[in-house]
Amino acid sequence: MKIAVIGTGRMGTALARGIAGAHRELIIGARNANKATALAKQIGAQVEAGGISASIKAADLVVMALPYEANLAALKDVDASGKILVDVSNPITADFKDLLVGHTTSAAEELQARAPGARVVKAFNTIFSDLLPREARNGTSLQVFLASDDADAKRAVESLVRAMGFEPVDAGPLRNSRFLEPMGEMNIQFGFFLGRGTVAAPIWQRV
């Protein structure tokens, strides 16, 4: 199964490294193909690179690591039918303080509406990019919440999440992304505005 990571920012870079570290076949896509090529070269000779549409087309599982609105725009001109689309986004305002969508929809549901034939899985939105490298976690087990309407797609992402050293947690159908995304925003509030830094993540603790 070939995986594409779309985006070479903080999240795209860290996810691409983690996915390559989990020994998966990888292509990196970006609007500036030079950035994708440079990152691919840094990660390893076997990693491919390209533009956004070409990378989506080339992959079976696509991790969208662009800002929320850019994710939607990226899917406008490409047919993602049958592909697994992983939405890691928190649909936040430019100042990080509010959500752009919520209550009755979510970024993940909007992505699914934009790509009706794709199988969208919400994942990683409560994990800061700083905690994606295994060594940054100091052996702490962190949970990645997964929401999707497609059981096979969820299983595939679950396996990837595990291979990257996280504990996958089934968070139910895709519509539950409307509850996961506010958790992501609360994590941002803790990290950026309440002085706790980007080195913590929510876990669902069972007593």
Ligand X SMILES: NC(=O)c1ccc[n+]([C@@H]2O[C@H](COP(=O)([O-])OP(=O)(O)OC[C@H]3O[C@@H](n4cnc5c(N)ncnc54)[C@H](OP(=O)(O)O)[C@@H]3O)[C@@H](O)[C@H]2O)c1
- Under the phi-then-psi rule, with left for phi > 0, alpha for psi from -120 to 50, and beta for the rest, what region is 15? alpha
Considering beta carbons, is residue 14 or 153 the nearer one to ligand X?
A: 14
Considering beta carbons, is residue 8 or 177 the nearer one to ligand X?
A: 8
Q: Which residues of 98-107 are buried (b: 16+ CB within 10 A; e: fewer)?
A: ebbbbeebbb
67 binds ligand X (CB under 6 A): yes
65 binds ligand X (CB under 6 A): yes
Kindly tell me which residue out of 55, 106, 112, 125 binds ligand X, with binding defined by CB under 6 A. 125
Stretch that binds ligand X, among 55-63, 94-102, 125-133, 156-164 (CB under 6 A): 125-133
Cβ count within 10 A of residue 165:
17
Nearest distance in Å: CB 190, ligand X? 12
Kindly tell me which residue out of 55, 89, 143, 148 binds ligand X, with binding defined by CB under 6 A. 89
User: Hey, CA dihedral for 54, 20, 86, 181, is it positive or negative?
Assistant: negative
